[in-house]
Amino acid sequence: MSEQPAEPDLRPPADDAEALDLLRTGEIDLEGRMLDASNVTLVGTIRSGEFTAECIYKPVAGERPLWDFPDGTLAGREISAYLVSEAMGWRVVPPTVLREGPFGPGMVQLWMDGDESVDLAEFVRRDDPALRRMAVFDAVVNNADRKGGHIIPMTDGHVYGVDHGICFSVDPKLRTLLWRWAGRPLPGAALEVLERLSDELRGDLGDQLHEHLTRTEVRCTQRRVADLLRTKLHPEPSGEWPALPWPPF
């Protein structure tokens, strides 16, 4: 989506705190639909007070039932991925909220204009620290769909990930383009984050996830973190599920 000029006296949020306030309270003006998305994905402008930004809105009413994700909602999995991302401190997922919208409750997420000069097919092969953090995050949430198009490198070097509606399965379903580090030792900094995450999953974060996921899904998330801490290795393909998403981009 091309960047739209701000209205007089309105400005984009300067940080994640302002973005979250805008996403929670703003008025959504829908402008179109992403036709290549498998579920209803709407794009528009959101305004509140002095702030304005572009956003993605995925109403629960537009979700198609998935046989292998029978419980909860895809929007609930999206917000759960955001909660885990924030707890890890890596800001993998853009600011995201669950709220009422023009077509009922759904996920609303800040639109990120990525660096269009980046060749994604080449970028995902890099030994990039941001991609490696994303690979660890995906292992935690059991992301079944890390396509190239779900990776957004920004002009400042930060890398966001989007489309987390099919995460948190109780079965091993990690499908990703980010297998570069499979079987390699986890960085020390990642182990420190996972230790903290393990504690938070047994506390407030676990309670928050229970609002959107089943108890079994939360327990499996705790187990995946425990397994990463036990092996101290990036996971390898399980062989029980295709290792690569299709299409890859």
Q: Which of 109, 106, 125, 240 is nearest to 177 (CA)?
A: 125
Q: How many CB atoms lie within 10 A of CB 154?
A: 14
Residue 162 to residue 148: CA distance in whole angstroms: 10
* Averaged confidence pLDDT in the chain: 93
The pLDDT value given to residue 191: 98
pLDDT single digits (tens) 141-158: 999 999 999 999 999 999
Domain ranges of the chain: 16-231
What is the percent of the chain where pLDDT is above 70? 97
**pTM, whole model, 2 decimals?**
0.93
Who contacts 198 (Cβ-Cβ below 8 Å, separation ≥6)?
222, 225, 226, 229
pLDDT digits (tens, 9 = 90+) for 79-109: 999 999 999 999 999 999 999 999 999 999 9
Strand-pairing partners, residue 96, are 109
pLDDT at 4: 54
Quick one: pLDDT at residue 179?
A: 97
pLDDT at position 30, please? 95
* pLDDT at site 8: 60
Please compute the mean of the pLDDT values over residues 52-68 and round it to a whole number: 91
Q: Say how far residue 133 (Cα) sits from the centre of its chain.
A: 13
Q: Which residues contact 189 (CB under 8 A, 6 or more apart)?
A: none
φ, ψ for residue 192, nearest 5 deg: -65, -40
- CA neighbor of 33 nearest in space, from 54, 65, 3, 57: 57
241 vs 5, which has greater pLDDT? 241
The DSSP symbol for 48 reads E
DSSP string, 105-132: EEEEEE-----TTS-HHHHTTS--HHHH
